[in-house]
């Protein structure tokens, strides 16, 4: 614990104390059949970059994947992907060349 305080003092001395922050990750988690809770990470970390808001890539991904915008875009993408797959399969079945014996 003492070594952490010393590190914080060194960062403060260098003017970098503002880079010590809590993870901004927030995502929803299912807690029951129809109940959802918002969960926050809030781990402390040193931001290597001024714009860094999350302590890990996993927290960043969870946060963005739980946003309504991402969910809507993902839904549209998957719908388009399934339609294209269905069309390719139909085309393959209808237009599949008949095979002749081995050459």
Mean pLDDT, contiguous 10-residue spans, the chain (103 residues): 81 82 82 79 88 90 89 95 89 64 58
84 backbone dihedrals φ, ψ, rounded to 5°: -65, -40
At 27 the pLDDT is 74
At 80 the pLDDT is 93
Parse the chain into domains and list their residue ranges. 2-93
pTM of the model: 0.59
At 61 the pLDDT is 92
CA distances from residue 73 to 10, 24, 91 in whole angstroms, order as listed = 44, 22, 27
């Amino acid at each position: 614990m003492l070594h952490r305080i010393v590190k914080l003092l060194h960062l403060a001395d260098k003017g970098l104390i503002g880079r010590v922050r809590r993870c901004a990750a927030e995502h929803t988690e299912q807690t029951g059949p129809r109940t959802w809770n918002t969960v926050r990470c809030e781990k402390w970390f040193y931001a290597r970059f001024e714009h860094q808001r999350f302590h890990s890539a996993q927290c960043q991904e969870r946060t963005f994947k739980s946003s309504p915008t991402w969910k809507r875009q993902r839904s549209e993408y998957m719908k388009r992907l399934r339609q294209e797959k269905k069309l390719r399969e139909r085309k393959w079945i209808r237009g599949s060349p008949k095979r002749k014996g081995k050459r």
